Amino acid sequence: MKILVINSGSSSIKYQLLDMDTENILVSGLVERIGEEKAVLTSKINPGNETEKIIKIQTAIADHKSGMKKVVSLLVDKDNGVISNTSEIRGVGHRVVHGGEFFHEPAPLTDKVIKGIEANVPLAPLHNPANLDGIHVARELFPAAQQVAVFDTAFHQSMPPHAFLYAIPYKLYEQDRIRRYGFHGTSHKFVAGECARHLDRPLEQCNLITIHLGNGCSMAAVKEGRSVDTSLGMTPLEGLIMGTRSGDIDPALHAILHRSRGMNIEEIDAMLNRQSGLKGLCGMNDMRDIHAARRNGDKMAQLAFDMFVYRIKKYIGQYFAVLGRVDALVFTAGIGENDSETRRAVLSGLKALHIIIDSRANEKSYVDWMRISDSKSRVEVLVIRTNEELEIARQTLKTLT
């Protein structure tokens, strides 16, 4: 059975067509710079296989609908297509960033669900409208398929109130739904499930700390398979230090910056989201550049790295206390999957928590996952490549009626 996964952004559409009998990716692609003269559609047929074929088209693409139409014509193309008709696609899974408190599970896209996503636009003003664009277009272009929304916030809806509430007047939660929601839920859910499989234990019996370190970074405390706390908050700004986002700060900084520098709320918001984090500290937000600079003696790059690692360690300590017993730590996403140096720094000095790294295993290359804990470590440490598209496809498949 074929499932199409769509991640629709403000000027881009990422997509994957999967054969769910084998979980193989038939096509993965990206439409970039929608709305510009020189939009680019890149399509990879049989990605990662010996038979991989890449098609790149540069052309003006006015909107999401024309972009998706081009994708469809490539999917059914006589020479390079992988399906003969769009009706071969049984389900379309849409990544939706904010499900608010309405959505704890993937939802078949009825008009009521679309209204629910619209109602959450104030919580994700940049993301949800772009996700809705993709949904409207896909409903039109794949009328035979069932459309399903998979929410980035849903996995964290199992958090208890003492973890998701902020200590501010309660009426702000009651009236405006101000609370922690958390994000990267699809990734945390995927790696938690894979980790349980590799530990050969039901997920419901696993207590895990999942560490997603990409351009955006977050951690989750997973108790008996369910998220009970996470580091991103009402928005994707709280928690760990990220590429350009500050993570945790004293909320009084807003008032201080306003009074001392006359900065307005938009400027402070932009600064914390786009000019802070690793970039704000050392001018670079790609961890590879930061390592190269550290090796050349750049003190600010070293400080930024030390702060990044320190914050993760603090959250590991917190989540240990929250969970009581931890079976495994899981590293994932761009930095977590590829950067042995960050993993080594995060895991150093954690013997008191019964976490001991196998330094040699940590340096090895791997395909989907590897274990990097020493045999003496009571807590297992795994590195697992996240696969949000596959998780969305799996959840879509489960939701089909």
Which sequence positions are flagged as catalytic?
152
* Shortest CB 386 distance to ligand AMP, Å: 7
CA angle 114, 118, 120 (to 5 degrees): 120
What pairs with residue 93 in β-bridges?
A: 5, 148
338 binds ligand AMP (CB under 6 A): yes
* Shortest CB 352 distance to ligand AMP, Å: 28
Task: Please provide residue 327's backbone torsions phi and psi, each rounded to the nearest 5 degrees.
Answer: -85, -40
195 binds ligand AMP (CB under 6 A): no
53 binds ligand AMP (CB under 6 A): no
Task: Please provide residue 51's backbone torsions phi and psi, each rounded to the nearest 5 degrees.
Answer: -90, 10
Instruction: Report the distance separating Cα 222 and Cα 326, nearest Å.
Output: 9
> Which positions from 105 through 124 interact with ligand AMP, judged by CB under 6 A?
none
* Shortest CB 247 distance to ligand AMP, Å: 15
Q: Which of 66, 146, 158, 215 binds ligand AMP (CB under 6 A)?
A: 215
339 binds ligand AMP (CB under 6 A): yes
User: Residue with CB nearest ligand AMP?
Assistant: 334
Instruction: Report the distance separating Cα 1 and Cα 19, nearest Å.
Output: 6
Kindly determine how many residues on this chain lie close enough to bind ligand AMP according to the rule CB under 6 A.
Answer: 11
Near ligand AMP by CB under 6 A, which window of 1-9, 143-151, 257-265, 328-336? 328-336
CA dihedral 32, 34, 37, 43 (to 10 degrees): 40
If 0-12 CB within 10 Å is exposed, 13-18 middle and 19+ buried, where does residue 262 land?
exposed
Instruction: Report the distance separating Cα 258 and Cα 271, nearest Å.
Output: 12
Near ligand AMP by CB under 6 A, which window of 93-101, 226-234, 319-327, 334-342? 334-342
Tokens for 256?
């201080």
Q: Which of 107, 241, 316, 333 binds ligand AMP (CB under 6 A)?
A: 333
Q: Where are the beta strands (DSSP E) in 274-386?
A: 328-332, 369-371, 380-384
335 binds ligand AMP (CB under 6 A): yes
Q: Which of 53, 56, 112, 288 binds ligand AMP (CB under 6 A)?
A: 288
Beta carbon nearer to ligand AMP, 181 or 331 = 331
If 0-12 CB within 10 Å is exposed, 13-18 middle and 19+ buried, where does residue 257 land?
middle
236 binds ligand AMP (CB under 6 A): no
- The footprint of ligand AMP (CB under 6 A) covers 214-215, 243, 286-288, 333-335, 338-339
